[in-house]
Amino acid sequence: MDKSVTSYTINKIFKDPNLQFGLTEFETIKPSEALDIFEKEKGKYYLKCLKRNTDLLVWNEEKRVGEPEEIIRQLWLYKLTKYYNYPLDRIAVEKEVNFGREVHEKAADIIVFDKDKETPDIVLEIKSPEAKDGLEQVKSYLNAEGASIGVLTNGIIKVILYRPYPHQFENTLRDIPRIGQTIEDVQEAKLTLDQLERKYDLVAIIKILEELVLAGAGVDSFNEIFKLIYAKLYDEKYARDRHGELLFRQSSEARITYDNIERLFEKATQEWPGMFISGEKILLSPTHLSVCVGNLEKIKLLDAELTIIDRAFEYLLPDVAKGKRGQYFTPRHVIDMAVKMLNPKEEEYVIDPASGSGGFLIHTMQWVWDKHMSEKSHETQIDYAKTHVYGIDFDDKPVKISRALMLIAGDGKSHIFKLNSLNPKEWMGEEGEKEKARAELRERLYKFNDYDRDRDNEENFRSFAFDMLLTNPPFAGEIIDRTILNIYELAKNDKGKLRNKMERHILFIERALNLIKPGGRLAIVLPQGVLNNTNMEYIRNWLFNKARILAVVGLHVNTFKPHTGTKTSVLFLQKWIEKEEPPKDYSIFMAVSKKSGKDKSGDYVFVKDESGQFALDAKGNLKIDHDLDEIANKFIDFAKKESFNFW
């Protein structure tokens, strides 16, 4: 067996790196050791079938055609025999399926028989990782063969259907039984923290749940999944008090499962108040809930890789993902560049006034932990997150997301508020959320050492003393409300008369500068026209009087694709210190990104090493092919040369 040939061929077959590195079902299996692939004819690569002992063509070099389904089937055969301990004489491959008098045109990929070697027990339907369907096919096979367990698998995710009665697919299972186990053994087996999967595709899991139950359940998928996520987070947090045993799992009876999960959710709402309406319940039926739990119980959420959760939330918020409100999820490498350039410190307070799903806040927190607090205790790191990181957003669902991400990252308490950043007058009111927000934000108000100005500021929440701000405000929409426009200098013309309307992101520039203290710094994503168009010159002149322009980074047009092709830039500012006379001339760092990390379709492009293999970062993730890290490094050199006080 030549392991290099096997590895080479698999790399060719799974051309998409997301597929190749997404085969999490076989994370503990090394394909190069489990499979024997060899070049039988020039440019034609074959695999020795583990069951049939025949040579199967899996890659044709000339035609550039491969058989990903066959690779996944062989890996499953390996897993069934080595992990689940089923002997090969109880396994059939490509067995014809009988539908009454008819024989189905497509054979079942794998069937595992009962110990009598005749009664079908488990049916596996293998799909390519790119395939979109298959559940109905699995159900039809189960009905035809009489098996009680059906598995749909594409190597990335598996769905295990459990059919307790003919034509009823009431449940899913966490796993298939090993040899000698019953279904009840699987359902009632203890589940512990150390058994949970850390590498998984949450978007794929949610899509399966939508197909199985959520699409026809008459509920808001986002809210119900969010309830389950919080119940699971609570369970994982306190599992160590039970020697790692988890309560978020299926029971053999759907009603018991429902009662257990509802109890966890109720405790979660008490642990983290403000996330849900008082007395809110899980709206899924017991049977639907059991299906969801069966697919979610096996994954680790607390301290999970945040990009996994991030992508899932982005999928659940199609309005934001599609930019219907002028909001777009900021690519994480853009966030990383901005955070790196501004270099937040342990003692500094940070805010995002359009925090969305919390990307800037999470990455700021991670930067401070890694760069400035790596030698400090986990408790001290968590204390920083609880006290120094603030976010505001007007949209309920992104607020829930950012709070959840802060929680998953390890912070049980967060300063994330559902407010309109542009209109602090709306912050007034007796609602608990607004009272809490005012109390916590009041601590960060700027002190003028002038009684009248301080009192006015406490009433109007206009000037704050944050050290740093990072934001990507919504671009769409114009503000016409004169009570809001009247707050802003930029909403007045050169004669002091109020303009009829203002673009939202323009007001965010002024609001951002009002949120940081003198000497504070910020990064804001803006349409490039703000910096280039002649009709925006008054904004640029206003900026020169308020802050030093530290840097302007023009982003590639593909950066925010597929959601928008708007040309954008990241503007970096440092607010002038009071009574500081702005110099007439100074150096500004300017850069234009040539590599966005995406292609014209908005799909990510990944780095390959010298051997043509996809390169991985320190955390084992695929490296996105962009130049923003290089730009950040050049800015740091510039900042040190200019003696900026934060580098």
Same domain for 294 and 318, yes or no, is no
**Confidence band, pLDDT 50/70/90 cuts, at residue 204:** confident
Angle at 328 between CA 386 and CA 601, to 5 degrees: 135
323 pLDDT above the threshold of 50: no
Domain end among 304, 339, 371: 304
Q: What is the pLDDT of residue 389?
A: 92
- Is the separation of the CB atoms in 511 and 333 below 8 Å? no
Same domain, residue pair 156 and 64: no
378-429 pLDDT per residue, tens? 788 888 888 899 999 988 888 888 888 877 776 556 788 989 999 998 888 7
Q: What are the tens digits of pLDDT across the range 565-592?
A: 788 999 999 999 987 788 888 999 999 9
What tens digit of pLDDT does each residue of 582-618 get? Answer: 888 899 999 999 999 888 888 888 888 776 667 777 7
Give 132 or 453, the one with higher predicted confidence: 453
In a shared domain, residues 167 and 243: no
More confident residue, 52 or 32: 52
CA 237 to chain centre: 20
> pLDDT averaged over the chain?
85
Both 199 and 122 in one domain: the answer is: no
Rounded Cα distance, 494 and 278, in Å: 50
Assign 46 a pLDDT band (cuts: 50, 70, 90).
Answer: very high
Give the residues across from 149 on adjacent strands.
122, 162
State pLDDT tens for residues 251-304.
Answer: 878 899 999 999 999 999 888 877 787 788 999 988 889 888 988 998 898 877
Q: Which of 53-62, 159-168, 209-218 has the lowest mean pLDDT?
A: 159-168
Tell me which of 437 and 431 has the higher pLDDT. 437
pLDDT above 60 for 101: no
The answer to whether residues 201 and 267 belong to one domain is: yes
Q: The domain that contains 175 carries what CATH number?
A: 3.90.320.10
**Confidence at 321, pLDDT banded by 50, 70, 90:** very low
For residue 460, tell me if it sits in a domain: yes
Please, which pLDDT band fits residue 328 given cuts at 50, 70 and 90? low
Query: Residue 10's pLDDT is what?
Result: 78
Q: Are 508 and 422 in contact (CB under 8 A)?
A: yes
pLDDT recorded at residue 19: 52
Assess whether 296 and 401 both reside in one domain.
no
Please give the residue that has the higher pLDDT: either 107 or 92: 92
Question: By residue range, what is the domain housing residue 262?
Answer: 193-304
Where do the H-state alpha helices sit in 317-358?
A: 318-321, 332-342
In tens, the pLDDT along 509-538 reads 999 999 999 999 999 999 988 888 888 888
Residue 166 or 52, more confident: 52
For residue 411, what pLDDT is reported?
A: 59
Where residue 469 falls among pLDDT bands split at 50, 70, 90?
very high
The pLDDT of residue 303: 76
209 in any annotated domain: yes
| pLDDT, position 383 | 84
Q: Angle formed by the axes of helices 221-238 and 306-316, to 10°?
A: 160
Q: Which of 140, 4, 161, 154 is nearest to 73 (CA)?
A: 154
Judge whether residue 86 has pLDDT over 80. Answer: yes
Euclidean distance between CA atoms 35 and 460, whole angstroms: 68
Is pLDDT at 24 greater than 70 in this prediction? Answer: no
In the chain, the percentage of residues whose pLDDT exceeds 70 is 91
Over residues 331-361, the pLDDT tens digits come to: 889 999 999 999 999 999 999 999 888 889 9
Q: Are residues 201 and 130 in the same domain?
A: no
1 pLDDT higher than 80: no
Of 304, 329, 360, the residue that ends a domain is 304
Residue 220 lies in a domain: yes
Residue where a domain stops, chosen among 187, 221, 245: 187
Indicate whether 263 and 358 sit together in one domain. no
Tell me the mean pLDDT in the region 625-646. Answer: 95
Cα 511 from Cα 490, distance rounded (Å): 10
Count of structural domains within the chain: 4
**Is residue 528 in some structural domain?**
yes
pLDDT over 90 at 94, yes or no: no
The answer to whether position 646 is within a domain reads no
Give the pTM. 0.77
CA-based end-to-end distance of the chain: 54
- 585 and 498 co-located in one domain: yes
- Report for 111-125, 129-143, 215-229: range of highest mean pLDDT: 111-125
Question: Do 145 and 241 belong together in one domain?
Answer: no
Domain membership of residue 108 (yes or no) is yes
Phi and psi dihedrals of 512, rounded to 5? -60, -45
CB 193 within 8 A of CB 300: yes
* Residue 647 resides in a domain: no
Residue 123 lies in a domain: yes
Domain at 516, CATH number? 3.40.50.150
Query: Which tokens sit at 603?
Result: 């799909």
Q: Are residues 318 and 355 in the same domain?
A: yes
Same domain membership, residue 15 and residue 162: no
